[in-house]
Structure formats: C-alpha cells, structure tokens
Amino acid sequence: MESRRCLPKGRLFARGFEFVEMSNRKSKNNLLHGECLSQVQRILRERFCHQTPHSNLFGVQVQYRHLIELLKRTAIHGESNSVLIVGPRGSGKTMLINHALKELMEIEEVSENILQVYLNGLLQINDKIALKEITRQLHLENVVGDKVFGSFAENFSFLLEALKKGDRTSSCPVIFILDEFDLFAHHKNQTLLYNLFDISQSPQTPVAVIGLTCRLDILELLEKRVKSRFSHRQIHLMNSFGFPQYVKIFKEQLSLPVEFPDKLFAEKWNENVQSLSEDKSVRDVLLKHFNVSKDLRSLHMLSMVALNRVTASHPFLTAADLMEAAQLCSMDSKANVVHEFQKFVQRKAHSIYNFEKPVVMKAFEHLQQLELIKPVERTSVNSQREYQLMKLLLDNTQIMNSLQKYPNCPTDVRQWATSSLSWL
Amino acid sequence: MQWISWKPAAEKRTMASYNTRQKTRKTYSWVGRPLLDRKLSHQTYKEISVKIEGCSTQTHIQVGQFVLIEGEDDQNPYIAKLIELFEDDSKPCSRKCARVQWFIRFCEVAPCKQHFLGRKPDAQEIFWYDYPACDDNINIETVIGPVRVVALAPDEVIPMDLKNEKTFFVKLSWNGKKFRPLSPELFAEFDKLQGEGPKCQKPRTKNAESPSWCTAENVAKRIESRHSASIPCQIPTHPAIPTARKKLEFRSFSRTPDAKISQKTSCGSLDSPRKTKRKATFSETTSHSKRPQPDGIKTSSPALKALEKTGEVGLFCADDKESPECHMILRTRVSAVKTTWISETNLTPTRGGQRSSAVPYVDLKPEYIKKREAKEPEAQNEATSISHRVRRKSSLLTLNRIRQQLRFLENDKNDQEEKEFLPSAEDSDSSSEDEELKPRTPHRVTAKIRSRSLAAQEPASVLEEARLRLHVSAVPESLPCREQEFQDIYNFVESKLLDQTGGCMYISGVPGTGKTATVHEVIRCLQQAAQTSDVPPFQYIEVNGMKLTEPHQVYVQILEKLTGQKATANHAAALLAKQFCTRRSPQETTVLLVDELDLLWTHKQDVMYNLFDWPTHKEARLVVLTIANTMDLPERIMMSRVSSRLGLTRMSFQPYTHSQLQQILVSRLKHLKAFEDDAIQLVARKVAALSGDARRCLDICRRATEICEFSHQKQDSPGLVTVAHLMEAVDEMFSSSYITAIKNSSVLEQGFLRAILAEFHRSGLEEATFQQIYSQHVALCRMEGLPYPTMSETMAVCSRLGSCRLLLMEPSRNDLLLRVRLNVSRDDVLYALKEE
C-alpha cells in the first residue's frame, strides 16, 4: 500500500527533474532570472526534502522545551533519562530531535561533553547489528582493535562493561536515539531495550534514551520489566494546528530567507507568496489538502510539485500551478491505470466472438500483472488457468469513472458495464 | 652493627656485606607491654629486642621499620616492612611472629614481566609489592636485621650519597601485573618516616635497661602508659606520638584487601582495674583507597550490640572525608555509655592530640549521625522485629569465633612447616600462577566511555537536589518497607554461610518492587559482616538473564567472574560442574544471584537444572538466589526435576502499598522541603492503585519537579511541588493518547473512522473490508455534501491510521479486500469525534 502511495510521487519527482533541466536550459536566455530561480529551487527543495534543523518548528514549542531541557540535564548534570517521541508519520519527530541536538551542540560546555549514538530500527534489524553499530559510533572499536567484533556475546558483555564502568559525575553522557523505536521492541527478548533502560535507571554512565515512533500503542509492545524501567515520559506530536496556521506554515515554507543574494528578487517572490496565500482558489486547494492530511510532509510534496513548474519564462508561482499540483497529488492511481488499459477489458469482453484464445490470455495476464485482478489463492497453480478463481481489485465506481474518461469506448463494453455492474 | 642469624653459617654463602653473621643462638624478647587481642588469642607488641648469645649487644626492631628477611637467595634477602609483632600461643616452639608488607626486588619479578618496567632498574631499586594474595605472616626468627628504605618519585634519580648496600629505594609498586607509581598517601608515609630521622631507621645497640633508640618522648610515654593505664582521664591528654600514629596508618595502608585475614588489635589491659575490654576492629578496606580509615568499631559486650550496629551502619554510609572524625565520635559515644579504659595505641587520634573525651560529642557529630538519630525509632522497630535473628546471631557468634580460631591455627601450622621458605614459596607460586593464567586469558580489555571534559554540575536548587535524590539510580541509605524481606534473605544466606552448605532461594514479584535492590543490600551487609568476621568470607557473583545473549552464556559469565577464565559455553559448563561437584580444598562459599531467571529457560532446561543442582552437592558451597517476575514460575515452566531442586524456599515481594510508597518518597526527600505532603500522598495512592511500582512513583515525582520548575520560572521563586503539578505529570504519563490523536487527525481521517463505525454498525461485526468501508465513506460524504475522496487518498488515510495503530490492518497486500479493525473502543472513537 505504501509503495503504491509512493508510485505517483516517484513519477512526479522524475518530472520535476525534467523541469529543472528545462529551466536550466532556458536560463541561458534569461540569465538574471535563471540564476535566481535555480537558487530558489535549491533552497526550497532542500527545505522540503531534507529534515534540516535550520527550518522552523511549527506548533511544537512546548514539546521542544521539554525535550531540550531533558537533554540539557543529561549533558550538564549527568542525569539519566528516557523518553519516547510519539506522533504520526510526517509530524516532525526527527526534525524535533535534530533541532534539539543542534541547539544542544551549540552550547559550548556541552558539545565537548556528549556522545551520540543514532540507531534506526529499519537498519539495525537485530541486536547483534545494533551492538556493532553502537560500538562503532562510540569509537570503542579503536580501543580493542578488531577484538570487539568477536562473538555476539563477547561484544555484548564488553559494551555493557564499558557502560557500567562510568558513573554520573565523571563519565561522558551518551545520547541514544532510536528511530523506528517500535521495531526495536520486536527484537528477541528486547535485550537491547532492557539494557539501555536499565542503564538509564542505575548509577552507571549517564544516558538519554530517546525513541521515535509513530505507534500510539508503543508501551503495550514493551515487556513488563522493560516497561517498568522506562520512565514513561512521552512527548506527543499530533499536528494539533488549525487551518489558519496551516496557511501560515505554507507561506513561511515558500518564503525566501533574508540572506538570499538577490534582495530585489527575494522581495518580489515573497510578495507573490503573500498574495498567493490570500488567494481564494489557493486557499481552497490548501483546505482540501488540509482535510485529507494534516502532516507537513504532504504540504511539502504539494509545494514541491508546484515549485517544479516555475521556469525562467514563468518565474513566479501562480494559483493555477498549485491547483495542478493538487490534482496530481490527489489523483487516483488506479483510475489512471484503468484508463490506459481499458482496451484489454474491452477485448476480453469481446473474446467470445472476435479474438483468438492466446490474445485473450495475454490480456488477462496483463491485468494480473497490474494487480487489477488477483488469484483468490496462491496454491492454485496446478489448476488450469482458464478455471482459476479471480478477484477483481477494482470498485464499481472506479470502472465507471474510467469508462467515462475513455473517449471512444466501444458501446458493448459500455453496455456491459451499465448492465452487469449495476447489480454487482 | 650486628647481623644476626640463627642458622648455621655453613649452610649459607656469606656475603661481604652481611659478613657479620655469626653462628650464634639468638634470644628474642618483647619490649613493652603486650596488647592483648582476646579474639585472636595472641598478644601484640610494638617492639622486639634480639639478643645474641655471647654478645652484649641487643638489636631493637620496632613496628614500622624495614627489615631484611631470610630467603632463598642469601645475597638478596627479602625486604619488608614490619607491620605487626605478635605472639602466637597456639604454636609450640616459635611463637613470635610478625606481619609484614613485602617489597620485591627486580630480580624477583617474573622474567617474562620484567619488560613492563620499560627501563633498566637500579641495583638497589625495590618495588612495593601490592599483591593481596601474598602471605604476610612470618616467623620473627627469619628476620635478619633492619635496613633503610627510601621512597623516591618515579622520575627522581637515586641520590649518590645514599648508594650503599644497606639502603634501598622504592619508586614504583608492583601488583603482579603492572608497575604503578606509589600512591601519594604511601609516599607521604615514607616521607614521614624519613623525617623522623635516622633514629628509627638505624638500629642501635644499647643496654637492655634503656631502650633509648626511641625518642625520649617515646620512652617517657611508654613509661607513662604503663603507669597511668588505670587512669582513664589521663589518656586524652597524651600527646600524639609518632609511633602510635604511624601504627594506625600502617594498619590501614598495608592491609591486604584479602578479607580472610582480619586483624584485630587488642587494646585491653590486664592491669586496668575496670577490666573492661574493648576491641577496636579495623576492617580491611577492600577498596583501593589507601586512606587511613577504620571502618568499624566493635564492642564485645552484648549490651553495646545495638549501639555498635548503628555505629557500623552510620560509618558505612559515611563519606570518606568524614571518617576520621566519626571514628572518634563513635568512640566517645561508647565511652559515654560505659567508661572504658582506652589504650593509647589505638585511640590516639590520627589527627594530632586535639581530641579530648571531655568534648561533648554532640558538637563534633557530623551530619549523618544526626540523620541516623532521626531514624533511630525506625531502627528500633527493626530491632524488635528481628529480635529472633539477633538472638540467633549472638549464639552463632561464639561458634563462629571458635571456627575462626581453628582456621587460624591451621594456617599457622602450615606456616610453621614451611617457615623457612615461606616467602619465596609464596612469591614463586604467585608468579607462576600468573604466568599460567596469562596465556589463557588474553589481556582483558577494559573499555570505558571516555570521561567528560567538564565536571558534571551539582544540583543548585532544592528542586534539582530533589530530582537527583528521586532518580531511581540514586542508591538510598536504607531500603524502607522491605525490612521483613531483607531479614529473611539475610538469614537465609547467613545461615548457609555459617553452616557452609549450599541452597537455593526463589524470589518473585512484579517489576519495581525492590527485589534486586534488596538482594544487593543483603549482599552489601554480608560483605560488611564478612569484613568484621561475623560471617565467613564469601564470593559474590551476579548474572542477569537479560544481559545474556543466549541462556548457555550464563556458564561463561559465571566462570569468568569466578576464576577469570574465558571459555566457550560448553567448556565453561564442564569446568563449572567440575568445580562445584568435586571435592576440593576448603574454600569460600559462593553466593550467586541470578536475575531474570525466566530467560534462562531452554527446551531441555539444562541451564536451570545445573544452576539448581550444583548447590545440592555438599562440596559446592554454593548459594543460589534467583529472581523472576512471576510467582508460579517453577510450576509453570519448570520440569518437576528442576523445580524440585529449586526447593521450597520462596519469597514473593508484594507490590508496594500506598503507605509504603509514601514512606519511600519521604525517606528519599528527607530534610528537603520540595513537595507538599498532600502531593506525596496523592502520587503514592495513584501509583499503588495502578501498579505499586516504585520506579513509576519516583519517575512521576521527578517529572513533577520539572513541571514545577518550569511553571515557577517566570516568578523566579522555586516553589513547592503541588498537587496540580503532580496531576499534570500523572496525566502526561498515563493518559491514553488515542483520543487526542483522533481529535487532532484530519477531516478525512475522522470521516474514515466514522465510516468504519457505520459499517460496523451495519454489519454487526467488528471487522470490515476496505471496500465496504470505502463505499460507506463515499455515502457519508455525499450525505454531508463533501467532495468524496478518491480510492488512493482513502487508502493513504487508512494506512496512516494503521501505522498509528488506531486501526489494525492485516499485513497482507489484499488491497480492496483488506480487513480492517478498530484498535480503540467504539465509545472512545465516538467520544473523540463528538467533541469538536
């Protein structure tokens, strides 16, 4: 499902790069605007695609405060802590922690005094790999040469020993960031989590364990002894802003920073963005988008697509760009596909009369490849293909819609649709 | 100068420098009054005089001096420092013994390790031998004579003018593994010795009637002490004498960490009219801090037992820096209770003669004693609840002492048998042992997280201090509310230690009820008791099932902690079985704590079986304490042969009640007004109702201090943590986030949830396919006049809700026919959707 969701995005990206190419080519004609525009696109794309800690935080000031205070206490007082940051996808969890770490590292007495370990549940899929990664990131493998990469058990006791040696006042605090925290809970016995939390609750090396997850039921995943050692601090990021704020965010995200080289252009651009945000049709687009999903990542997606339409000949964003982008973003992927391959359905319908059997079979296979239809069971390989039971993975409305879009649809297909789908 | 040897010279190749050795008989006589140690049944002295027959000269050797001791090699006799002189009545012939701190010559260091020094040693360089397992009791007759030893800084050059045969230089200490520079305390000690001048260093031959190579002061003092012993009020007025001070400090310096040999110094006096005897027990400092720090004071009078107990506990939690004072104070307290004669040797304070018993002890009392007093009612409660234990303990104490004496006798017998070669045998043994182990155990890498460059900030405000104390990792001085459990476990282990048998105990309880902490406390107390020889010494090993990668790794860990060897799991199991199941020479009992026992479950249950089987062997002397969360673990997962070996010694830790939690909080926040009383009660009740987990309780309070700090930041006055702050913390930690999540979700997501509810309502089932829900959704949208979403959008919404686990979706790629369930109760969804 996730992958299907990504499919149109991927295509849009590809299209976006074509636009970049185009704008580059055209910029030879219009040097002044071209240069500015490529810079604009670079800056804004960076802002949209990377979770840079330079961009602003929206509506999470309280949570941010909580987190930064906690990290400071670990860094300065050597107090061990554990916290979970919970929020749906795209709600800015990683951004929050990156922001907090950046601010932390800017404090002079802290930056020297802290070690960071970053783990991701999608990369460190078991404790063994995670341990190696921790050892590597703590630069402990230098201490022991290649020995540490011995057996899993040796590694483990080595690392625990190393962490146990320290104490609150003298050891350098370690910040563990566990992205996709829920996946760590699926490791065998939750050994890693138990030990991290145990360290955070015993007089050893001060650690701050920060988990990032989108699962609200995360605490239920933890074993009770692991749960008991976890401090139960949770920071929830819930996208709890309303529409006016959403528009404001949209405006700020598209605005150029003050340090943009060409002041004049930046001013014009920002004015344009300001007027866009007040435009009625733009607001409608945004409202529709807001209603579908509140996360900022989808807003970035929308702005990104719109941004790609900016060229030297078309230097400023318009409402039409945004509407087009919104349409692209919310397009039904299947409708598209159905539209293109309706002719096979059409042939199938007529197979009895017009077509050879191989042709029909080919068309049938094609549909299967596109996952428009699916065998009911996987084990039916031995049965003849003609008699396999199939599932249609389309809704009536989708077929009807696509048929309407299909310009010269044969009448018998149309008839079949109206007659048979009405009672289906 | 006379060098004395009792052995025929023919046996030895005499060397030029020691050519004064004569084939004579020597007579040894103590100088000074004996100081009786009742417990060890020997008398200690401060000085011995050696008289050679046929010669009118006498050599006086005093405690604290450096002496040459006969060894294998006549040209290089051993060098040591006298620590104690005592008479051992248990042996028939040679009763005069001495305890020494060895020095080692470079040539005595194992050849394979000599390169560790990294430079060429000087001919007269020796090393402080910091090897705890080395036997340090020698027969006095092996002493050849005094010698001079000078301490130098590691980079100092040996002064030329002192380069003669009879002076040695010590720069480094050798512990069998590496050379280290002398610790500063040690260094200061040497310096002091040298500062006292050659009087003490150089032996003089004098007449017996005036043992005057001591300072005049010393003599005067000795006489005085002999005469004034019966007058207690005079003692405090004694000036601090260097020898006495030295002795005290030596004691704590040179004591080996080996807890087996506990030294008792007797300070009773036979001619004291009151005949009250006290023992000052200097327990060994197992830590490496070489601070002179007498750890415990013990009175043999049972009436003072309770007092002594408090004293010990108080001392235990004392800071290092406070210990000299507290040492004195406790004594004064004792003397206030009971006028005792105090021997000058042991009671001369380490810090000059400023002490006087007339000073009321309240003035000097350090803070923690006050704390202790505040807690005294509590302690008394404890005492009454454990009276049976005390009774038992005192009865066992006698038995214990007898045993100890017997063991001591045995040791001495051994000593005598090999008295001639004892030091050399020991040395070669230890070094060969080292060499043998070395290739098998690769040099252990001890990795460490690098230390911070900037010191951790100490708490500045009351709230910060409170937060520090409330952290779960903060080790409390005592564990309130677990007295009964503590006693039970203590009694169990103590009885096993005293009876020298083995046994198992199973401890269960939900997380956060103090199981591990209580066991740690028990072990700590027992180790304390072992130092003062109340219980036999034992070895403590701890393993945690969660800290193992695999159940069989437990063997590896136990073996490594027991012997330092490394082996594979199978090999380790075999070695351990051999160690525990075969008869060996008598050795220490092993106490093994197995935390998170349930993780040691294997299909064949061989790990558990072995763990519980070993203690049943009589030779094993293994006490196994196991901890797990579930009460009926033995019945549930263990085979009958395993659970039968575990036995029925079970204990379960009940979750804390609200009053207990309250007590825990109050005890942690003692003398710190950071919380309102109501607030503490509230949090205790909340947690007790939820889980009874002490960790939760502490965490909530810690969070509440943060909230309080945050809210008071503007007003700039750190206030008390109120009920409101605590409620906020509780809500933050325990409130379900589902409802807020639904409230904050987008319009389409909320619509989808509505559609799910409608579909469930329609079908009467708790599950629906995506297609069904989609059609419901479209219908709902039509009804409300909203533009209805496309399939892809809806699918995205569905997967988003699924990733938050508001919905449960089956993991297959069934697309339209995907089955969806709610992960929240319908009422919650309705409630969340209604409020807008």
Triad B796, B802, B808: Cα angle to 5°:
135
Query: What is residue B543's predicted lDDT score, i.e. its pLDDT?
Result: 92
Question: Model confidence at A326, in pLDDT bands (50, 70, 90)?
Answer: confident
Distance from CA of B569 to the nearest CA of A (A): 10
Residues in chain A: 424
Triad B830, B834, B836: Cα angle to 5°:
145
- Least confident range from A188-197, B238-247, B493-502: namely B238-247
- Least confident range from B185-194, B239-248, B549-558, B639-648: namely B239-248
Closest of B51, B52, B45 to residue B30, by C-alpha: B45
Q: Decide if A5 and B796 are in contact by the 8 Å CB cutoff.
A: yes
Mean pLDDT in residue range A119-123: 93
Please list every residue in chain B whose beta carbon sits closer than 8 Å to the beta carbon of residue A1. 795, 798-799, 813, 815, 818
Residue B589 to residue B540: CA distance in whole angstroms: 9
Q: Mind listing the pLDDT tens digit for each residue in B629-683?
A: 888 888 888 888 888 888 888 899 999 999 999 999 988 888 888 888 888 999 9
Query: What is residue B161's predicted lDDT score, i.e. its pLDDT?
Result: 63
User: Can you tell me the ipTM of this complex?
Assistant: 0.81
Residue the block writes with tokens 């199941």: B581
What one-character DSSP code corresponds to residue B177? S
Q: Which of B453, B556, B746 sits opposite A294 (nearest CB)?
A: B746
| B173, B182 Cβ separation under 8 angstroms | yes
Interface check A111 vs B, CB under 8 A: no
Mean pLDDT in residue range A230-248: 88
Token pair listed for B550: 């695999």
Q: Mind listing the pLDDT tens digit for each residue in B341-350?
A: 433 334 334 3
- Least confident range from A64-68, A133-137, A266-270, B412-416: namely B412-416
Triad A255, A258, A264: Cα angle to 5°:
85
Residue B172 to residue B103: CA distance in whole angstroms: 10
| B342, B335 Cβ separation under 8 angstroms | yes
Query: What is residue A374's predicted lDDT score, i.e. its pLDDT?
Result: 64
Interface check B808 vs A, CB under 8 A: no
Q: Which of A224, A288, A391 sits opposite B511 (nearest CB)?
A: A224
Helix locations, B447-502, DSSP H: 462-470, 483-499
Token pair listed for B32: 């000074």
Residues with Cβ within 8 Å of residue A157, at least 6 apart in sequence: B547, B557
Closest of B133, B135, B129, B130 to residue B98, by C-alpha: B135
Query: What is residue B486's predicted lDDT score, i.e. its pLDDT?
Result: 92
Query: What is residue B489's predicted lDDT score, i.e. its pLDDT?
Result: 93
Distance from CA of B428 to the nearest CA of A (A): 31
Restricting to B residues 231-250, those with a Cβ less than 8 Å away from any Cβ of A are: none
Interface check B459 vs A, CB under 8 A: yes
Residue the block writes with tokens 């297959």: B812
Token pair listed for B667: 């005890």
pLDDT > 60? residue A343: no
Question: Model confidence at B526, in pLDDT bands (50, 70, 90)?
Answer: very high
Q: Mind listing the pLDDT tens digit for each residue in B362-397?
A: 333 334 444 444 444 444 444 444 444 444 454 455
Phi, psi of B557 (to 5 degrees): -65, -45
Interface check A371 vs B, CB under 8 A: yes
Residue B537 to residue B508: CA distance in whole angstroms: 27
Restricting to A residues 183-202, those with a Cβ less than 8 Å away from any Cβ of B are: 189, 191, 194-195, 198, 200-202
Residue B435 to residue B429: CA distance in whole angstroms: 10
Mean pLDDT in residue range B289-293: 41
Residue A265 to residue B330: CA distance in whole angstroms: 83
- Least confident range from A94-98, A154-158, B209-213, B827-831: namely B209-213
| A185, A151 Cβ separation under 8 angstroms | no
Q: Decide if A291 and B746 are in contact by the 8 Å CB cutoff.
A: yes
Burial of A369 (0-12, 13-18, 19+ CB in 10 A): exposed
Q: Which of A216, A234, A334 sits opposite B738 (nearest CB)?
A: A216
Mean pLDDT in residue range B109-119: 69
pLDDT > 50? residue B287: no
Residue B806 to residue B398: CA distance in whole angstroms: 68
Residue B451 to residue B464: CA distance in whole angstroms: 23
Query: What is residue B463's predicted lDDT score, i.e. its pLDDT?
Result: 83
Packed helices B376-385 and B387-417: angle between N→C axes, nearest 10 degrees: 80
pLDDT > 70? residue A193: yes
Q: What's the predicted TM-score (pTM) here?
A: 0.62
Q: Tell how strand A390-392 and strand A373-375 pair up.
A: antiparallel
Q: Decide if B546 and A194 are in contact by the 8 Å CB cutoff.
A: yes
Query: What is residue B388's predicted lDDT score, i.e. its pLDDT?
Result: 42
Residue the block writes with tokens 């820096």: B321
Look at B432 and B484; give whichever has higher pLDDT. Answer: B484
Q: End-to-end distance of chain B based on CA atoms, in angstroms? A: 105
| B673, B720 Cβ separation under 8 angstroms | yes
DSSP-based three-state secondary structure for B205: strand
Which secondary-structure segment (H or E) carries B331? Answer: helix B323-337
Mean pLDDT in residue range A34-55: 77
pLDDT > 50? residue B228: no
Closest of A363, A236, A250 to residue A306, by C-alpha: A250
Please list every residue in chain A whose beta carbon sits closer than 8 Å to the beta carbon of residue B475. 203
Residue B522 to residue B526: CA distance in whole angstroms: 6
pLDDT > 90? residue A120: yes
Q: Which of B546, B787, B790 sits opposite A191 (nearest CB)?
A: B546
Token pair listed for A104: 């932390």
Question: Model confidence at A255, in pLDDT bands (50, 70, 90)?
Answer: confident
Query: What is residue B519's predicted lDDT score, i.e. its pLDDT?
Result: 92
Please list every residue in chain B whose beta carbon sits closer than 8 Å to the beta carbon of residue A204. 473
Mean pLDDT in residue range B577-603: 84
Burial of A31 (0-12, 13-18, 19+ CB in 10 A): exposed
Residues with Cβ within 8 Å of residue A16, at least 6 apart in sequence: A304, A305, A308
Please list every residue in chain B whose beta carbon sits closer than 8 Å to the beta carbon of residue A234. 732-733, 737
DSSP-based three-state secondary structure for B809: strand
Question: Model confidence at B520, in pLDDT bands (50, 70, 90)?
Answer: very high
Question: Model confidence at A11, in pLDDT bands (50, 70, 90)?
Answer: very low
Q: Rg of chain B's alpha carbons, rounded to an integer?
A: 35
Token pair listed for A183: 């996946």
Residue of B nearest to A167 (CA): B451
pLDDT > 90? residue B770: no
Query: Percent of chain A scored above 90 by pLDDT?
Result: 14
Which secondary-structure segment (H or E) carries B149? Answer: strand B143-151
Q: Side by side, which strands form the sheet with A174-179?
A: A115-120, A174-179, A207-213, A81-86, A234-236
Which of the given ranges, A35-39, B274-278, B331-335, has the highest pLDDT on average? A35-39
- Chain centroid to CA B608: 28
Q: Mind listing the pLDDT tens digit for each residue in B576-589?
A: 888 888 766 667 88
Mean pLDDT in residue range B794-816: 83
Q: Mind listing the pLDDT tens digit for each residue in B124-175?
A: 778 777 776 666 777 777 777 777 777 777 767 666 666 566 677 777 777 7
DSSP-based three-state secondary structure for B707: helix
Q: End-to-end distance of chain A based on CA atoms, in angstroms? A: 25
Query: Percent of chain B scored above 90 by pLDDT?
Result: 12
Question: Model confidence at B446, in pLDDT bands (50, 70, 90)?
Answer: low
Q: Decide if A88 and B800 are in contact by the 8 Å CB cutoff.
A: yes
Burial of B550 (0-12, 13-18, 19+ CB in 10 A): middle
Question: How many C-beta atoms surround the C-beta of residue B557 within 10 A?
Answer: 19
Please list every residue in chain A whose beta carbon sits closer than 8 Å to the beta carbon of residue B471. 79-80
| A144, B427 Cβ separation under 8 angstroms | no
Query: What is residue B785's predicted lDDT score, i.e. its pLDDT?
Result: 80
Mean pLDDT in residue range B24-33: 68
Question: Model confidence at B819, in pLDDT bands (50, 70, 90)?
Answer: confident
Question: Model confidence at B755, in pLDDT bands (50, 70, 90)?
Answer: very high
Question: Model confidence at B594, in pLDDT bands (50, 70, 90)?
Answer: very high
pLDDT > 70? residue B334: no
Q: Decide if B451 and A170 are in contact by the 8 Å CB cutoff.
A: yes
Query: What is residue A409's predicted lDDT score, i.e. its pLDDT?
Result: 66
Residue of A nearest to B550 (CA): A153
pLDDT > 70? residue B474: yes
Interface check A204 vs B, CB under 8 A: yes
Query: What is residue B233's predicted lDDT score, i.e. its pLDDT?
Result: 38
Mean pLDDT in residue range B259-272: 39
Interface check B521 vs A, CB under 8 A: no
Interface check B464 vs A, CB under 8 A: yes
C-alpha distance from residue B93 to each of A396, B413, B789 (Å): 112, 11, 106
Token pair listed for B98: 């001495």
pLDDT > 70? residue B599: yes
- Chain centroid to CA B832: 55
DSSP collapsed to 3 states, chain A? CHHHHHHHHHHHHHHHHHHHHHHHHHHCCCHHHHHHHHHHHHHHHHHHHCCCCCCCCCCCHHHHHHHHHHHHHHHHHCCCEEEEEECCCCCCHHHHHHHHHHHHHHCHHHHCCCEEEEEECCCCCCHHHHHHHHHHHCCCHHHHCCHHHCCHHHHHHHHHHHHHHCCCCCECCEEEEEECHHHHCCCHHHHHHHHHHHHHCCCCCCEEEEEEECCCCHHHHCCHHHHHHCCCCEEECCCCCCHHHHHHHHHHHHCCCCCCCCHHHHHHHHHHHHHHHHCHHHHHHHHHHHHHCCCHHHHHHHHHHHHCCCCCCCCCCCHHHHHHHHHHHHCCHHHHHHHHHHHHHHHHHHCCCCCCHHHHHHHHHHHHHCCCEEECCCCCCCCCHHHCCEEECCCHHHHHHHHHHCCCCCHHHHHHHHHHHHHC
Question: Model confidence at B595, in pLDDT bands (50, 70, 90)?
Answer: very high
Among B448, B773, B806, the residue to mutate for chain A (most A Cβ within 10 A): B448
Residues with Cβ within 8 Å of residue B527, at least 6 apart in sequence: B286, B540
Question: Model confidence at B782, in pLDDT bands (50, 70, 90)?
Answer: confident
Restricting to B residues 745-774, those with a Cβ less than 8 Å away from any Cβ of A are: 745-749, 771, 774
> At residue B108, what is the residue type?
E
Query: What is residue B165's predicted lDDT score, i.e. its pLDDT?
Result: 61
Triad B785, B788, B793: Cα angle to 5°:
150
Q: Which of B474, B550, B791 sits opposite A395 (nearest CB)?
A: B791
Residue B168 to residue B152: CA distance in whole angstroms: 10
Question: Model confidence at A226, in pLDDT bands (50, 70, 90)?
Answer: very high
